[in-house]
Structure 1
């Protein structure tokens, strides 16, 4: 981490951020996008952005470094697929990133009852971050010949309800 932490601002994601982030995407995210879909960083980030109901960009010192969002898996049952792709700035400013990301799941769970997606089993930093956020991680499964782990989080049942 640099001596002075980056100033981070969260804004609504824009298509103009995609090329800037994709061109500098961290290697673990590049590998995950390719393993999951066979897509390039640009194509993968564009696809995720276009298929999201909500998406944001984190600007580090005014520069787009991270984009994340959530796509609808099933709007009737309230299931969303959260995703995040970024540059090495996330790791260089990890303390600041942890602070700004701490409440993201709660914000998404105000709209979705269940958040669910897969993460590349090789992506150790993302796995630790997801656990830190409170996601449950499941045993690896094979997708396109690569090992991925399902992660999910759900809202607590309301009084008198049970989760199935």
Structure 2
């Protein structure tokens, strides 16, 4: 099946709200573990406003995924993130090259890119590995031990 028509644009509050309302089940579960009791729309709006850069990919005009990178209090560490609707599956292969270029740009900006992924979010884990991230499956973290740390870069330097 051919990939659907898609476009990239800067992230907006309207797109973040749409994606929050239509999240993939895996992303909703991940947010529930990482941010128990918090509203997905509020989390996405905070991520959008705190991001160094943030983009949205639209599929046939609808926001399908939002991603970005956020600074931390530790110099040289950036937090990459991505949340999506099920429309992600319609374009995943088509946007691979663009995603790899975006991650390379992030890696040029930060010494280390670091975040966490839900252990059951197999789609995200496969995607992160495709993009070149290391996933630490040996040491689950978080209150329920349901998260894996992932990173790219020289973690010993920060």
TM-score by length of 2: 0.88
| Structure 1 residues 43 and 144, CA gap change in structure 2 (3 angstroms) | farther
For structure 2, which runs of at least 5 residues remain unmatched after alignment? none
Q: CA deviation at 1:146?
A: 4.1
SS at match of 2:48: helix
Q: CA deviation at 1:8?
A: 1.8
1:82 maps to which of 61, 80, 83? 80
Match of 1:108 in 2: 106
Moved beyond 4 Å, runs of 4+: none
SS at match of 1:34: helix
Match of 2:139 in 1: 140
- How far apart in 2 are the matches of 1:111 and 1:163? 14
- How far apart in 2 are the matches of 1:4 and 1:134? 25
- How far apart in 1 are the matches of 2:39 and 2:127? 24
Match of 1:34 in 2: 32
- How far apart in 2 are the matches of 1:142 and 1:114? 19
- How far apart in 1 are the matches of 2:120 and 2:84? 16
Q: CA RMSD in A?
A: 1.9
Match of 1:154 in 2: 153
- How many residue pairs end up in the alignment? 155
Structure with max Cα Rg = 1
For structure 1, which runs of at least 5 residues remain unmatched after alignment? 156-161
The answer to whether the Cα contact below 8 Å between 1:78 and 1:112 also exists between their aligned partners in 2 is: yes
1:123 maps to which of 108, 121, 136? 121
- How far apart in 2 are the matches of 1:92 and 1:8? 9
- How far apart in 1 are the matches of 2:87 and 2:139? 28
- How far apart in 1 are the matches of 2:5 and 2:132? 25
SS at match of 2:15: helix
The answer to whether the Cα contact below 8 Å between 2:140 and 2:146 also exists between their aligned partners in 1 is: yes
